[in-house]
Amino acid sequence: MSTGKSGNSGGSGGDRIRRQRRRARTPAHTGERLHKRRGRKASSRQWLERQLNDPYVSAAKAQGYRSRAAFKLSQIADKHTLFEPGDRVVDLGAAPGGWAQVARERVGDTGAVVALDLLAMDPLPDVIIHQGDITDPATLPAIREALGGPANVVLSDMAPNVTGHRTADRLRMLEVVEAALDLAEAVLAPGGRFLAKTRQLGGDEEVMQRLRRDFDHMRFVKPAASRPESAETYVLATGYRGTGA
């Protein structure tokens, strides 16, 4: 487990939240196109053009976020009051760190953020980083120790690699959501919040019933920063009723 510490905390949690909301505006479209290059596949060219034309990619670079996904979390948090100053947050599937950056800004100096990923991550100021597998039995006690108390928020931006087979991809996505929910219910304090990426869980009544049973409220959300053509959405459950932590 590794940690990154900042030299200066720089103001109150409230100041950080206000700065974050001022920065997370919808950026302008650039409209750039790539010239055809010998040997470059059409799919690669389309991906590069999309990146160049994506205002959130440009804004993430300009504002120091590690990924455009930071704007997705900011938009969800603004609309649904996901964070409060002093919260303890677990970020699953955290690499490269965009969500952890936003969470760190929102919880303020008295909060804590623990980021987990299979991949190695560069240090982030005041974020505890743990490289590991969510299904490894050693992961849960490591996260509990790093948090120093029950979590208030568990985030999951995890997603499996797609195969192109719709049914198989949906089942694999469900497995990821269930793994995130298992960990969430093991660390969340009563009243806690759970946010996880899905590819639309419609049709899986077991997961839906579990979320409705264990949380006061459950809804699907799709922030403006999600690409319109993407099937991704997020399930947000608030008011955890259990005592897993």
**Preceding peptide of 96 cis, ω within 30°:** yes
Pairing of strands 188-198, 151-156: parallel
Q: What is the DSSP letter of 2?
A: E
Question: Per the structure block, which two tokens stand in for 144?
Answer: 């509990």
Rg, Å, the chain Cα set = 18
Question: Per the structure block, which two tokens stand in for 186?
Answer: 């093991």
The overall longest dimension of the chain from CA atoms, in Å, is 59
Pairing of strands 88-92, 151-156: parallel
Give the residue numbers marked as catalytic.
197
Separation CA 129–CA 131 (nearest Å) = 7
